[in-house]
Amino acid sequence: MENIRFAGKEHEAFYYNMLKAAGNTDVYHRAFFYTMGISKETRENIHSLFDFEENCIETQNLAAAWQTGGTIRLCRLAFNLWNGWTEGGKERYSAPYELFDCRFAPYFFEAIRLRYPEYCRGTEHPDRQLSAKEL
């Protein structure tokens, strides 16, 4: 997983800093902090979205005043990749049809690859064809 696609230097620095702050680099933390790092707004508000002491997501802050349509999508994806979370009564907003309808979509694929590396082998190099044995 050495070829991670970042939205910029700030995204990359945030990702590695948050993994260090959390003291964990498992697939849950990697996917969560990668996704949260895509946007400046979610980077700036990470402490309202993740409790570092309890090591858990803060879903109630999905409705915070600073949230935009795009950052809500980021949070929904990050929360879902963390533990399968969907908002009660609004589950459809966590579906790809709703989530990927924003400028962050190219990075969402990377977040999914970070969360499910065992199923995404070979996707780091899209030009390469998988053999029947790899499938």
* One pLDDT digit (tens) per residue for the chain, 135 residues: 468 999 999 999 999 999 999 999 999 999 999 999 999 999 999 999 999 999 999 999 999 999 999 999 999 999 999 999 998 998 888 888 888 888 888 899 999 999 999 888 765 545 444 444 444
For residue 46 the two structure tokens come to: 């990470």
DSSP track, 60-102:
GGGG-TT--HHHHHHHHHHHHHHH----TT-GGGGSHHHHTSS
- Which helix (H) or strand (E) covers residue 11, if one does? helix 9-22
Label residues 81-107 b or e (16+ Cβ within 10 Å = b): bbeebebeeeeeebeeeebeebebeeb
